[in-house]
């Protein structure tokens, strides 16, 4: 049942004519007649007796009129409520993100996000695996890996360049590599799934195999091992941002290559009717990422 059709019926009942309802609603008499006919067809009853000069409600019309008025009042109340909360997010927001990125970037913004939006609840799943966001009912996934599902909607948020880094202690003991070939003489901590470190040289792709006494299947373990001085690591900037800022890790610049650049991407199940809570969350995240992504 279309609320616009109900509105036409209520206007006809109030004005006593189709032409009066048309003037009141700013419609043509033909449009009013069509909407009334559509409502009567949907309800399966005749609501109005029509004459050349006036209309009168049928018995069914009299019965339906109070319901029509309550429907219109409820519609207006809903619109007023939504307008009053237009700047605030509400409801359950389900987010998934890589483990370290989620801990380092998303967790710090959650307290203020929830404080500014009292009606919001946030369910965060941290996983380095690509999860089925549609099947799990997730509103938005933050991904750094290459996207595989073309049915999903990807929204780039910021650059997330890979960086080669090491602890100051390791560099004192082993020296600082200057070019790509120097990495072959160093312990390069491998992350499972990325046995080769990707670089760019003169517009082309080159790589070096990561080999060390230690390797791991999680970014967190590789980051910890790097801080402990077990070798060099190639991680993304936002995975090691705090360590680089406070000096626990040192970024290594190689003269002949640059690490491959990745992007932080928000993946949505659909671009249709994106909830306001998703937009508010992504705006907060983009603001945090802006110093690097902008």
Distance CA 122, CA 117 (A): 11
pLDDT at 187: 97
**What are the Cα distances from residue 88, in Å, to 139, 165, 267, 287?**
17, 40, 22, 17
Residue 82 binned pLDDT confidence (cut-offs 50, 70, 90): low
Indicate the DSSP class of residue 103.
I
Distance CA 16, CA 287 (A): 56
Rounded to 5 degrees, what are φ and ψ at 134?
A: -70, -50
**How many residues are given for the chain?**
294
Q: Percent of the chain at pLDDT above 70?
A: 91
pLDDT at 121: 92
**Which tens digit of pLDDT belongs to each residue from 90-142?**
889 999 999 989 998 999 999 999 999 888 999 999 988 877 787 778 899 99
**Which tens digit of pLDDT belongs to each residue from 11-51?**
888 778 888 888 878 889 899 889 999 999 999 999 998 87
pLDDT at 215: 95
Q: Which residues pair with 252 in a beta bridge?
A: 164
Looking at the predicted structure, is the pLDDT value of residue 168 above 50?
Answer: yes
212 with 188: CB under 8 angstroms? yes
Q: Percent of the chain at pLDDT above 90?
A: 51
Rounded to 5 degrees, what are φ and ψ at 199?
A: -130, 170
**Which tens digit of pLDDT belongs to each residue from 220-267?**
999 999 999 999 999 999 899 999 999 999 999 999 999 988 889 998
220 with 100: CB under 8 angstroms? yes
Tokens 């997330």: give the residue.
160
CA quadruple 13, 15, 18, 19: dihedral, nearest 10 = -170
Q: Averaged over 69-93, what is the pLDDT?
A: 75
pLDDT at 83: 56
Distance CA 280, CA 117 (A): 10
pLDDT at 167: 97
pLDDT at 55: 83
Domains in the chain with CATH codes: 3-84 (1.10.10.10), 91-158+263-293 (3.40.190.10), 160-261 (3.40.190.290)
268 with 274: CB under 8 angstroms? yes
pLDDT at 137: 82
Distance CA 101, CA 144 (A): 9
Distance CA 138, CA 123 (A): 9
67 with 3: CB under 8 angstroms? no
Distance CA 289, CA 252 (A): 22
CA quadruple 226, 227, 229, 230: dihedral, nearest 10 = -30
pTM to 2 decimal places: 0.62
Distance CA 150, CA 267 (A): 10
| 66-70, 82-86, 213-217: least confident range | 82-86
Looking at the predicted structure, is the pLDDT value of residue 201 above 70?
Answer: yes
Looking at the predicted structure, is the pLDDT value of residue 169 above 60?
Answer: yes
Residue 294 binned pLDDT confidence (cut-offs 50, 70, 90): very low
Distance CA 260, CA 251 (A): 15
Q: Which long-range contacts (CB under 8 A, 24 or more apart) does 209-213 make?
A: 210/234, 211/187, 212/187, 212/188, 213/187
How does 5-38 read in b/e, with b if 16+ C-beta sit within 10 Å? bbbbbbbbbebebbbbbbebbebeeebbbebbee
CA quadruple 67, 68, 70, 74: dihedral, nearest 10 = 130
Count of other CB atoms within 10 angstroms of residue 264: 24
Looking at the predicted structure, is the pLDDT value of residue 87 above 50?
Answer: yes
Looking at the predicted structure, is the pLDDT value of residue 213 above 90?
Answer: yes
Looking at the predicted structure, is the pLDDT value of residue 293 above 50?
Answer: no
Q: Please, what is the average pLDDT of the chain? A: 87
Q: Which residues pair with 124 in a beta bridge?
A: 95
């Amino acid at each position: 049942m279309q609320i616009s059709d109900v509105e036409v019926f209520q206007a006809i009942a109030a004005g006593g004519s189709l032409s009066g309802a048309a003037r009141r609603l700013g419609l043509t008499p033909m449009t009013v007649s069509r909407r009334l006919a559509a409502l009567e067809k949907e309800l399966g009853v005749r609501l109005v007796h029509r004459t050349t000069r006036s209309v009168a409600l049928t018995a069914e019309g009299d019965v339906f009129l109070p319901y029509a008025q309550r429907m219109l009042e409820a519609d207006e109340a809903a619109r007023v409520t939504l307008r009053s909360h237009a700047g605030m997010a509400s409801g359950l927001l389900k987010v998934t993100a890589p483990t370290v990125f989620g801990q380092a970037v998303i967790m710090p913004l959650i307290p203020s996000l929830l404080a500014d939006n009292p009606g919001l609840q946030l369910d965060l799943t941290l996983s380095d695996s690509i999860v089925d966001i549609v099947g799990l009912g997730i509103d938005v996934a933050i991904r750094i890996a290459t996207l595989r599902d073309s049915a999903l909607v990807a929204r780039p948020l910021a650059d997330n360049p890979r960086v080669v880094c090491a602890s100051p202690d390791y560099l004192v003991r082993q020296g600082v590599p200057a070019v790509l070939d120097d990495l072959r003489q160093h312990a390069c901590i491998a992350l499972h799934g990325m046995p080769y470190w990707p670089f760019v040289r003169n517009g082309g792709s080159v790589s070096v195999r990561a080999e060390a006494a230690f390797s791991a299947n999680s970014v967190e373990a590789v980051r910890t091992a790097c801080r402990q001085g077990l070798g060099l690591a190639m991680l993304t900037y936002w995975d090691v941002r705090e360590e680089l800022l406070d000096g626990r890790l040192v970024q290594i610049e190689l003269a002949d290559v640059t690490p491959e650049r990745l992007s932080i991407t928000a993946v949505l199940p659909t671009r249709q009717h994106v909830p306001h809570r998703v937009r508010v969350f992504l705006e907060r995240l983009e603001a945090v990422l802006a110093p690097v992504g902008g």
